[in-house]
Structure 1
Amino acid sequence: MCCLVSAPLMANDHSYTTTSVTDDALPTFYPQLKQQLTYTDSWLSGRYAHFGEWRQHARQVVRSLLLTPDSHRAFEPQVVDSQDRDSYVAQKVAFNLTDESRVPGLLLTPKTPGPHPAVLLLHDHGAKFDIGKEKMIRPWGDDTRLASANAWADRYFTGRFVGDELAKRGYVVLAVDALGWGDRGPLKYEQQQALASNFFNLGRSLAGTLAYEDMRSLDFLASLRSVDPKRVGVVGFSMGAYRAWQLAALSDKVAATAAISWIGTYDGLMVPGNNVLRGQSSFYMLHPGLPARLDFPDVASIAAPRPMLFFNGGKDTLFPQQAVQAAYDRMHQVWQSQHADERLETQIWPELGHVFYQEQQEAVFQWLDRWLTSPPGSTTR
Structure 2
Amino acid sequence: MRPATRFSTNARTVHASRILPRAARRVVNPREGTDEGSRGLRRPATALLHRAGSVFLGLLTFAAATSTVPAQPTVRTHNTPRTFEPPVSRADWESRTRQIREQILVSAGLWPMPDRPPLRVHRFDRTDHEGFTVEKVLLETWPGFYLGGNLYQPRDRGNGPFPAVLNPHGHWPLGRATPSPDGGFPARCIHFARRGMVAFAYDMVGYGDTFFAPDGPARFDAATFDQRHRAFPETDTARLWSVNLLGLQLWNSLRALDFLCSLPEVDTNRIGVTGASGGATQTFLLAAVDHRPAVVAPVCMVSHSMQGGCVCENAPGLRIRFSNLDFAAAAAPRPQILVAATGDWTRTTLEIEGPAIETVYRLLGVPDHLRYVRFDAGHNYNRASREAVYAWFERWLLGEPDRPASPEPPCPTLPEQQLWIGDDPRRPQPTLTAEDYIRTRIEIRRRQWESLLPKRRDDFNSFRLVARPLWFHTLQLAPPDRPPTLRFSPLQGSTTTRTARFEIHDPDLPEPIEGFYHLPAPEQTRPQRAHWMVLLLTDPANGAGSASQTRLMADLLHEGHTVVTISRFPAVPAPEASPHFYTYNRTALQVHVRTVVALLRSVANLAPSGAPPKGRLLWGSGRAGLWALLAAPEADAVVADLEHMDLQDIERLAQPDLFCPGFLAMNGPLTPVLLAAPRPLFLARAEPALPAPTLRQLYAELGRRRALQISDGPPEPRRVLPWLRSL
* Same fold? TM cut 0.5: yes
Q: Partner of 1:170: helix, strand, or coil?
A: coil
Q: How does 1:224-235 map to 2 (within 5 A)?
A: 224-235=263-274
Q: Partner of 2:128: helix, strand, or coil?
A: strand
Q: How does 1:1-381 map to 2 (within 5 A)?
A: 31-34=73-76, 44=86, 49-68=91-110, 69-111=113-155, 112-113=157-158, 114-126=160-172, 128=173, 131-135=174-178, 150=179, 153-157=180-184, 161-185=187-211, 186=219, 187=224, 189=226, 194-198=231-235, 199-200=238-239, 203-265=242-304, 268-269=305-306, 276=308, 282-316=310-344, 319=345, 321-322=347-348, 325-349=351-375, 351-374=376-399
Gap change, CA 1:285 and 1:294, over 3 Å in 2:
same
Q: Work out the CA distance in 1 between the residues paired with 2:100 and 2:163.
A: 28
Name the aligned partner's letter for residue 167 of structure 2.
Answer: L
Q: Work out the CA distance in 2 between the residues paired with 1:259 and 1:193.
A: 22
Size of the aligned set, in residue pairs, is: 314
Q: Work out the CA distance in 1 between the residues paired with 2:318 and 2:204.
A: 22
Q: Partner of 1:290: helix, strand, or coil?
A: coil
Q: Work out the CA distance in 1 between the residues paired with 2:96 and 2:240.
A: 32
Q: Work out the CA distance in 1 between the residues paired with 2:186 and 2:225.
A: 26
> Which is worse superposed, 56-65 or 225-234?
56-65
Gap change, CA 1:55 and 1:289, over 3 Å in 2:
same
Name the aligned partner's letter for residue 154 of structure 1.
Answer: P
Q: Partner of 1:183: helix, strand, or coil?
A: coil
Cα drift, residue 161 of structure 1: 1.5
Gap change, CA 1:103 and 1:269, over 3 Å in 2:
closer
Cα drift, residue 324 of structure 1: 7.5
Query: Which residue of structure 1 lines up, in the alignment, with residue 632 of structure 2?
Result: none
Q: Work out the CA distance in 2 between the residues paired with 1:334 and 1:196.
A: 38
Q: Partner of 1:93: helix, strand, or coil?
A: strand
> Which is worse superposed, 93-102 or 189-198?
189-198
Q: Work out the CA distance in 2 between the residues paired with 1:379 and 1:191.
A: 42
Gap change, CA 1:303 and 1:183, over 3 Å in 2:
same
Name the aligned partner's letter for residue 374 of structure 1.
Answer: G
- Contact residue 349 and residue 372 of structure 2 kept, 8 A: no
Gap change, CA 1:282 and 1:256, over 3 Å in 2:
same
- Contact residue 81 and residue 306 of structure 2 kept, 8 A: no
Structure with larger Rg? 2
The share of aligned pairs that are identical, in percent, is 24
C-alpha RMSD over aligned residues? 3.1
Cα drift, residue 165 of structure 1: 1.3
Residues 331-373 of structure 1: CA distance to partner in whole angstroms, max 9, x if unpaired? Answer: 1111111111211111121x21112222222221111011001
Pick the structure with more helix per residue: 1
Cα drift, residue 200 of structure 1: 3.3
Name the aligned partner's letter for residue 367 of structure 2.
Answer: D
Q: Partner of 1:257: helix, strand, or coil?
A: strand
Cα drift, residue 206 of structure 1: 0.8
- Contact residue 39 and residue 45 of structure 1 kept, 8 A: no
Gap change, CA 1:34 and 1:156, over 3 Å in 2:
same
Structure 1 segments, 4+ long, off by >6 Å, are 37-40
TM-score (norm: length of structure 1): 0.73
Q: Work out the CA distance in 2 between the residues paired with 1:201 and 1:132.
A: 31
- Contact residue 107 and residue 318 of structure 2 kept, 8 A: yes
- Contact residue 119 and residue 172 of structure 1 kept, 8 A: yes
Gap change, CA 1:52 and 1:90, over 3 Å in 2:
same
Structure 1 stretches lacking a partner, 5+ long? 1-28, 136-149, 271-275
Q: Work out the CA distance in 1 between the residues paired with 2:227 and 2:269.
A: 41
Gap change, CA 1:168 and 1:237, over 3 Å in 2:
same
Gap change, CA 1:181 and 1:224, over 3 Å in 2:
same
Query: Which residue of structure 1 lines up, in the alignment, with residue 464 of structure 2?
Result: none
Cα drift, residue 56 of structure 1: 2.6
- Contact residue 215 and residue 250 of structure 1 kept, 8 A: no
Residues 245-292 of structure 1: CA distance to partner in whole angstroms, max 9, x if unpaired? Answer: 111111110000111111112xx227xxxxx5xxxx521100211212
Q: Partner of 1:72: helix, strand, or coil?
A: coil
Q: Work out the CA distance in 1 between the residues paired with 2:290 and 2:153.
A: 23
